[in-house]
Structure 1
Amino acid sequence: MKTALVSQQTSDLIIIGAGAAGLSLLLALDDINYPHSVTVLERNSGPLNDRIWSFWSTNTQNISLGLLNVPRYIASIISHRWSHWSLSTSQSNYVMRSDVYRYCCVRSDDLSRLAQKRIDQNPRFRIIYNSDVTLVRTQDNICTLTSNGFAINARKVLDTRPPPIDKNHTGLLQCFYGEEITLSEDFFEPSCVQLMHQLKSAALGIEFVYVLPFNTKQALIEFTCFSLHAISKDTLKLRLHGAIKELLKQRKYTVERSENAVLPMYLLNQNHHKKNENICYGGIAGGAMRASTGYSFLNSQGWATQCARELMRFNRFSPTAPIKRVYCVVDMIMLKVLRDNMSIGVSIFELMFKKVKPARFVRFMTQQATIVDFISVIWAMPKKPFLIAACKLLINKK
């Protein structure tokens, strides 16, 4: 692994952060034989198994038809696929199933291994760990980055570090703590993801448990809440353990690993993108996360593919936003509704599972919705609160 540091280095492109956005661009560049040098700077000491990214993709049986909506190198590291996904409350349970789409996941360590394999085969690419970037400055179209006592120059910089949470945000925060556990006996239904198990409006906001089963004995279980304020890790962990106890009863389990995050469910200010054409922002900071859902991995793939092409052809970053404007508007209205009345959230998500067909639901979630899909989703929602929220946003904009 290439980790040697010197006091002064150069690279055509620097990527700050070896997460989903940074490594996705690296892989996209490698896939089109990018002829220039690329350096990834990662603050951690090595690859981490600390994330599982989930998304909907077309069934692998349809790859030959050209329907796969992730790059083939990403498809090669999809670790699990599920044909069903569900939502449940204390009174009801809804299950969606699709023959065309599958709910998929990619592990962070698998993405890191794939990137390292490509780096080992490409002398122009490298990754430097233990590199916490402390300063980025630009002079005469040259960007200089300072990290741990050394400096590195480049003409282009992609910064994928997540932005700090805005305390004055006008949306919500998605707070979660999860543990990947293993049981000694069969328990989980491996074909169905519980997207929102025991969904309810409670003290922390809109609360639910997310269950990602890898087989009958192993699953990732997360306690999640959509809240107005950041919830501490200790509180989330306590609620998760209560949920696991209720779910598993007296069954014993071992914890393999854990993950925790607070994600912004609001539209980020993108004005910093226009300050310097040589510096671009990716991932959450680049607007890849759907504000109303927290999903970003699929958006990062589309952006990385487009950005790699722009760098190859025109030596510039992609000007295309990862999320289309119409979805941003819909998300703003949805979040306004939830912020004004958190208790209505259960009804909104329940109605979506109850009235929207699975394929329409997936296309809406993955920015592939047709006009009919949009009408179907909108028609399923309670009309009055959405109209009021839309009018408030329109008035405030004026």
Structure 2
Amino acid sequence: MLNTGFHYVIVGAGCAGLQLALALAEETQATNKKIALIDKRRPRENDKTWSFWEAGVGKWDSILSSSYSYAFFKAPNTKLKLKLTPYTYKSLNAADFYNYSFEKLKAYPHVIFIEEEVVGIQENRKKAIVTTALCSYHCSHVFDSRIPAAFYNQNRYLKIQQHFKGIRVKTKNPVFNTQAFTMMDYRLSYPNSTSFMYVLPYSPNEALIEFTFFSPFTVKESVYDQYNKDYLKNYLNTTDFEILETETGNIPMSNYPFHKHHTSRITKIGTGGGWVKPSSGYSFKNTEKKVKHIIKNIQKDRFPSYGLYSKKYNFYDTIFLKVLHDNNHLGPWLFTQFYTKNSVPTMFRFLDEESRFKEEFKIMRSLFSWAFIKAFFQTRF
């Protein structure tokens, strides 16, 4: 019979759930505290690509699908080739991450994966209770990756949607420059929006190309298809290609206070915890940092959620989101200013929430505009 008592329960076996499960498994190995990882199914599909930048050797290097030392940024009248040193831009496939994580978890007998759908979580002074369609599990603490229902049922906070469709293509002729990936290409853009092409080349004949929006609205799937096709034809000069894989997504970029859903026995994690960086949409490396912070809190006998939220960077992100929300057509100009007037280390430290005030001031000055002034005075610190 399955043991229903655990020290920790992690709800969701995605990016955040698996990273946390690996870290908690290692942290609790000596004490043998039981951990349950619960999801309605074990993820196996190569349904997304995670990318991030970091300096030096990283913990995921063995499963990377690609890495780059240079990045292109392109816009009308602008073409930059950015040297990323001391950083490297790294990408990995979801299927490789899932397989790697579950294989590593096999080494920890005190960690169990439960393939059930969570329908509710309750708590009292002594424990938390996680209920699935089949059973109830009690524990000392729950890490919950589900997005709070309240997020969808409110209009008070800003919500920009990072929505996209990517296709991994193989072309007959060599058309991709493998020296660098394309961070953003605004030469092809949907009218009156912040939309761009993102390109990860794997070889001269193979790449992931992804038409992406940062917008308060969504579009029909046919729009992504048409823009991906147009980019291949008009900017890469090819119509002879094979689609190997597709990936779609819609990631919330929001100043919603996810941290207010933390309690003494429940910590929200992943997208449900606000771990997607609101101003960039990146989450993988941010998740690694948040997980490390949670482990440190546990070691110091503090609430796991202590210090996970930065008021200062939420203020900066809110200004940026406000501009994109009210003036979505300004996105290409804003990102052009961002990339042309700041060094790579300054930009990455800022997006990693590791910058100094002098760097933050320089970035804000580079984005100086009436829209930013207005957003600044409409945002509470």
Once the two structures are TM-superposed, the CA of residue 137 in structure 1 deviates from its matched residue by: 2.2
Pair 1:175-2:163 in alignment? yes
Once the two structures are TM-superposed, the CA of residue 290 in structure 1 deviates from its matched residue by: 1.4
Partner of 2:130: 145
Pair 1:19-2:10 in alignment? no
Distance 1:373 1:315, change over 3 A: closer
Distance 1:201 1:386, change over 3 A: farther
Partner of 2:55: 58
Q: CA contact under 8 A between 2:232 and 2:238: conserved in structure 1? A: no
Pair 1:48-2:45 in alignment? yes
Question: Match for 2:219: what amino acid?
Answer: I
Partner of 1:377: 363
CA distance in 1, matches of 2:48, 2:232: 20
Report SS of the residue matched to 1:368. coil
Q: CA contact under 8 A between 1:176 and 1:260: conserved in structure 2? A: yes
Once the two structures are TM-superposed, the CA of residue 230 in structure 1 deviates from its matched residue by: 3.0
Question: Match for 1:239: what amino acid?
Answer: Y
Pair 1:255-2:246 in alignment? no
Q: CA contact under 8 A between 2:25 and 2:35: conserved in structure 1? A: no
Aligned residues: 376
Q: Percent identity?
A: 23
1:56-81 deviations in Å (ceiling 9; x for gaps): 10134xxxxxxxxxxx5334433321
CA distance in 2, matches of 1:233, 1:128: 34
Question: Match for 1:22: what amino acid?
Answer: G
CA distance in 2, matches of 1:77, 1:308: 23
CA distance in 2, matches of 1:315, 1:114: 30
Question: Match for 1:224: what amino acid?
Answer: T
Distance 1:134 1:8, change over 3 A: farther
Partner of 2:354: 368
Once the two structures are TM-superposed, the CA of residue 291 in structure 1 deviates from its matched residue by: 0.9
1:272-325 deviations in Å (ceiling 9; x for gaps): 424x31111101111211111101111111110121232344274131225x32
Instruction: Summarize the alignment of residues 158-237 of structure 1 with structure 2, pairs less than 5 Å apart.
Output: 158-163=143-148, 166=152, 168=155, 169-199=157-187, 202-203=190-191, 205-237=193-225
1:121-145 deviations in Å (ceiling 9; x for gaps): 110012233x221122224532222
Question: Which of 106, 109, 120 is matched with 1:120 structurally?
Answer: 106
Question: Which of 50, 55, 60 is matched with 1:74 structurally?
Answer: 60
CA distance in 2, matches of 1:316, 1:56: 29
Report SS of the residue matched to 1:205. coil
CA distance in 2, matches of 1:243, 1:146: 47
CA distance in 2, matches of 1:376, 1:186: 40
CA distance in 1, matches of 2:225, 2:140: 43
CA distance in 1, matches of 2:61, 2:143: 24
Partner of 1:66: none
Report SS of the residue matched to 2:23. helix
Q: CA contact under 8 A between 1:83 and 1:192: conserved in structure 2? A: yes
Report SS of the residue matched to 1:155. strand
Distance 1:17 1:380, change over 3 A: same
1:351-372 deviations in Å (ceiling 9; x for gaps): 1121111221221222222233
Compute the RMSD of aligned alpha carbons: 2.4
1:312-355 deviations in Å (ceiling 9; x for gaps): 44274131225x32221111111222222222221111111211
Q: CA contact under 8 A between 2:43 and 2:98: conserved in structure 1? A: no
Question: Match for 2:27: what amino acid?
Answer: I
CA distance in 2, matches of 1:41, 1:28: 16
Q: CA contact under 8 A between 1:7 and 1:149: conserved in structure 2? A: no
CA distance in 2, matches of 1:265, 1:54: 17
Partner of 1:290: 277
Question: Match for 1:39: what amino acid?
Answer: A
Instruction: Summarize the alignment of residues 263-282 of structure 1 with structure 2, pairs less than 5 Å apart.
Output: 263-270=251-258, 272-274=260-262, 276-282=263-269
Once the two structures are TM-superposed, the CA of residue 106 in structure 1 deviates from its matched residue by: 2.6
The gaps in structure 1 that reach 5 residues or longer are 1-5, 61-71
Q: CA contact under 8 A between 1:163 and 1:284: conserved in structure 2? A: no
Instruction: Summarize the alignment of residues 351-366 of structure 1 with structure 2, pairs less than 5 Å apart.
Output: 351-366=337-352
CA distance in 2, matches of 1:183, 1:151: 51
CA distance in 2, matches of 1:46, 1:358: 34
**Stretch moving more, 148-157 or 10-19:** 148-157
Question: Match for 2:370: what amino acid?
Answer: K
Task: Report the TM-score when normalising by structure 1.
Answer: 0.86
Partner of 1:39: 36
Question: Match for 1:206: what amino acid?
Answer: T
CA distance in 2, matches of 1:99, 1:315: 36
Question: Which of 101, 117, 140 is matched with 1:132 structurally?
Answer: 117
Partner of 2:323: 337
CA distance in 1, matches of 2:98, 2:141: 22
